[in-house]
Each structure stands twice: as C-alpha cells, then as structure tokens.
Chains A and B, each alone.
Chain A
Amino acid sequence: MDWRDVTVYVNGDEYTKTIPVQMTLAEFLRDELFLTGTKIGCNEGECGACTVILDGVAVNSCLVLAVHADGKNVLTIEGVSEGELHPLQQAFLDAGAVQCGFCTPGMIMTAKALLDRDPAPSREVIRKEIEGNLCRCTGYNRIIDAVEKAALMLQKR
C-alpha cells in the first residue's frame, strides 16, 4: 500500500497522521479523528451527507482523498458551534428541520458555505444550493425555512 504523512487543520486543530492514499477525507475524519458527525451515506457524491467545508467551499468528503486535504483547512459539523449552538443549528431545531437527523450535518455545512458567501439568499437560491443534499424525511420546506431563519439571525448579529 502507498502511505503518506499528512497534516490537516480540522476545526482549527492540527492533526498529523500516516494514512494510505486511498483513504477518503470522510473516512479520515470518522475513523482517524473520530469526528463522526460527518456521515457517509451513498459514498459516491449523490447524497451530500458527508459534506464538509474544505478551504471555504462545500465538498463531498467521500470524493476527496484525505491526502489532498494535506495543509488545508477543514470545517466539519463539530466545528460550527461557538460555545452555544450556531444560528444554523438553532434554526434547524426551531423550524423542525431535523427528523431522523442523518442528513442534518451535511445540510448545515452546505447551508453554512452558502451563507458565508451570500448572507441573504432567496428561497430559490437556498433550494438550488441544497440540490446535492438528500433528505428523505422533511420534504425540504422546513430546511429551507431554517436556512432563511438562520440568515436573519446572522444578519442581526
């Protein structure tokens, strides 16, 4: 097997590990760092449950090699709260946007990447942005409500 040393900055912490090149970033987060908030659903980029923010943009961590995160910043669901719940997390709870919860971490990371770029997106923009995140429970409307709510909370800050 082909092994490499990598240093990845996850949620602000530095981690150095020796890993096989075929390990995905999703597996690195879950199995090496035990950050199991990031979920693996389809493992082929369809469902978005493994979405994390890599150097500022949302990616499917199942389609990124962990070695390609070497030297980069990764933000996962474990890193979004700042002492108290992040407005997105609070809004998801308030709006009833969480049912089984499996899609929620990925959904929140996609929404965070959107709000970081566009602090006041329309419902249409939100709907389009979460096109790569499947939810089989909510019917999406409450998720869109939650992202709108979070955008307002963040604007008031």
Chain B
Amino acid sequence: MLPAFKLLEPNTIEEACRIALDTDGMFLAGATDIFVAMHGGALFPETLISLAKIDALRDIRKTDQGIFIGALTPHRYFEFNQVMKTRYTAIHEGCAQVGSPQIRNRGTIGGNLCNGAPSADSAGPLLVFDAVCVIVGAAYERTLPLREFYLGPKKTALRKGELLKSIYLPEPVSRSASRYIKFTRRNAMDLALLGVSAYLALDDSGGIADARLALTTAGPTPIRAGEAERRLIGHKPCDSLFSEAAAIAENESLPRTSWRSSKEFRLKLVKSLTEKALREAFERI
C-alpha cells in the first residue's frame, strides 16, 4: 500500500483552491509521478487533493483563434486527436512518447507541466506553440505565457492555492509545421536525455516568417532558444542556416551532467538535433 495520507476530493475548482490555501495538501492529477515517488519512499504527503471529480478541468473548447485544453486532459488525447496530429504535430509527437500507453491514459498535460521536470515531453512542444497557462485561484483567474511558468527545477510560477486550469494554444498559421525530437537511450519508458522542438512558418516568398525553438533537459527548466530563433527569421531556409542556428542554440543551452548523460554529450545533441528538427519541420511545410 501507499504511505498513508488523507484524501480530499473537491467537486469544484473553487473548492480545490480553497483547500489548497487552507492546508498543505498536494494536488493529485493522473498520479503517474506522485505515486511512483510515494511507492519509492521519496514522498510522504500528509494530504492529497484529488482533482478527479472536477469535470471542468477536462473541458476542451475551440475558439476562432485557438483551443483551450483542460489541465486534466491525458497524453493519450494528444496522441490520437487528428487536429493535434496535423496542426500541432510536435505536441502530438511529445505526448505520444511519454512513458507507455498505460501511463499516457492516466498522466495529464497539466501534471506534466506542474511537476516542473526539465525533461517534460509536452513542455518543449507547447513552448514552440506559444502556449498560455490559464491559472485559477480561489476567487480569480490569471493567464501566464508558458515561457514564464517555469522558475527552476521542480519550481513553477503557481502560488499557494493556485491551480493550472487549462492550456491555451493559439491556432498556428497556414504555412507552418513543427517537429519534436526526443533523444533517449532506448525506445520506450525513458526520460529524454535531450529534447528539441522546432516550429517554422514561411512567408509568401518562401522565407522564414517565424521560427521557434525549445530545448528540454538542456537547462534547469525547459527553455526557448531566442537567439537562434532570431538568426532564422527573415532568411531563406537552407541547411547552412539551420546549422548556424543550431550552433547558437548550443551556446544558449545550459545542460548539466547527470547519471543519464554528460553535459558535453548533451551540448553535442543540442547542435545535431536542432539542425535535424529544423530540417524536418521545414520538410513538413
């Protein structure tokens, strides 16, 4: 059995936020991270606030400009949904590579972000689609670009009593495509040694109108490689340009050495995978 805890199961977002304000309870979504840590003796929460009964956190709502996706939406949705496959391809590729089908059926997009891991497979792809976090407190709602959501390893901008309600994804422009490459030691059930997400949009003359790059496990948090993006915008896409941008991305990253990989190897990966991700995103347009 899991270490003993008190289970609270609020029915509404407001109730959940109020409980989080008044207790030291921890929010529980798909449990695929929290229970692993609890089974392993690394986490002993006194109170868990289960979000399972709050259906509002599963809402998916399309608007003219984009789509709101409830924080409790499981990875499996992004793996199978046609709009995700065709319009938000990198997000589809990221979520389809989380753990296993069993994990993807339970694990949620909100949990993947709030867990704060620098290796989160959904984080990089969401960053290149300029995702916005919709955050709720007991009596208010605020929005925050995902770029500003991560403060450090396992640290997010969520304050006590706040909950990630949904992710807003702006509609990508028509001549655009994306690619997520996850580098792992084996093909399944592994965390990214390094992840690169690329998004490219072309103008009418075939030049790069917009370029976005995100790196995961290349620093204490998932990051955007802003300098490399600026090098790309306004130029004609070609291999030498992609290679130059990749070298800039390598300079922008701050990976560390862990048991999974050395810092030096991760830097080499940033260079080669960024080139590859840009090339393959471009080929998809």
Contacts and interface: CB of A to CB of B under 8 A. Distances in A.
Interface string B91-113: 00000000111110110000000
Contact of B100 (A27, A44, A48, A62): A48
29 contacts: A1-B4, A2-B5, A4-B7, A20-B1, A20-B4, A22-B3, A23-B2, A27-B1, A45-B35, A46-B189, A48-B100, A57-B105, A58-B101, A60-B103, A63-B32, A63-B35, A63-B102, A63-B103, A64-B31, A65-B7, A65-B31, A67-B7, A110-B102, A113-B101, A128-B188, A132-B99, A132-B100, A132-B189, A133-B100
A94 interface: no
Given A45-B35, A59-B102, 6 more contacts: A45-B36, A58-B101, A68-B50, A68-B52, A114-B101, A132-B188
Nearest to B53: A68
Interface of B: 1-7, 31-32, 35-36, 39-40, 50, 52, 76, 99-103, 105-106, 187-189
A150 B122 CA distance: 34
Contact of A63 (B4, B36, B40): B36
Interface in A62-88: 62-65, 67-68
Contact of B102 (A22, A43, A51): A51
Contacts of A44: 35-36, 39-40
B254 to A, nearest CB: 30
B102 A60 contact: yes
Given A46-B189, A132-B189, A22 B1 contact: yes
Contacts of A64: 31, 106
Contact of A22 (B2, B76, B100, B101): B2
Nearest to A57: B105
Most buried by B among A22, A46, A63, A129: A63
Contacts of B36: 44-45, 63
A131 B189 contact: yes
A89 interface: no
A contact face: mostly helix, strand, loop, or mixed: mixed
A100 B39 CA distance: 26
Interface of A: 1-2, 4, 20-24, 27, 43-46, 48, 51, 57-60, 62-65, 67-68, 110, 113-114, 128-129, 131-133
B31 A131 contact: no
Nearest to B103: A45
Given A129-B101, A132-B188, A57 B76 contact: yes
A122 to B, nearest CB: 16
A135 to B, nearest CB: 13
B73 to A, nearest CB: 14
A47 to B, nearest CB: 9
B50 A48 contact: no
Contacts of A21: 5-7
A24 B7 CA distance: 13
B102 A45 contact: yes
Contact of A24 (B1, B76, B102): B1
A57 B187 CA distance: 22
Contacts of A67: 7
Contacts of A114: 101
Contact of B7 (A2, A48, A62, A63): A2
Contact of A62 (B3, B39, B50, B99): B39
Nearest to A114: B101
B79 to A, nearest CB: 10
A132 B52 CA distance: 24
A43 B39 contact: yes
Nearest to A61: B102
B187 A131 contact: yes
Contact of B5 (A22, A110, A132): A22
Contacts of A48: 100, 102
